[in-house]
Amino acid sequence: MYIRFLDGPVEVTTHRLSEEVAVNYSPDGRIVGIEILDASAVVFSPGQEGRIEVENLTPVPA
């Protein structure tokens, strides 16, 4: 699953939060998008709450 926050083509820097989650930043530090690999397994696993929490996102220098 990819959640995109900015439209149009943008050069990005990727910061991996885990094996399954990556955040893409624009050169000016804005979050372009968040990628969640195997999102249905991560979010909807049996016995898991159906949510994802992202905390402490900080801009990554280009």
| Residue 11, pLDDT score | 94
Q: How much is the pLDDT for 43?
A: 64
Q: What is the pLDDT of residues 11-53, one digit of tens each?
A: 999 999 888 889 999 999 899 999 988 877 766 666 666 566 7
Between the alpha carbon of residue 59 and those of residues 10, 13, 14, 42, 51, the distances in Å are: 15, 10, 11, 25, 23
The candidate with the shortest Cα–Cα distance to 51, out of 61, 62, 33, 36, is 36
Which sequence spans correspond to the domains of the chain? 2-43
Grouping H, G, I as helix, E, B as strand and the rest as coil, residue 7 is coil
CA dihedral 23, 27, 31, 36 (to 10 degrees): -20
Residue 32: predicted pLDDT: 94
User: pTM of the prediction?
Assistant: 0.66
Asked whether the beta carbons of 43 and 52 are under 8 A apart, the reply is yes
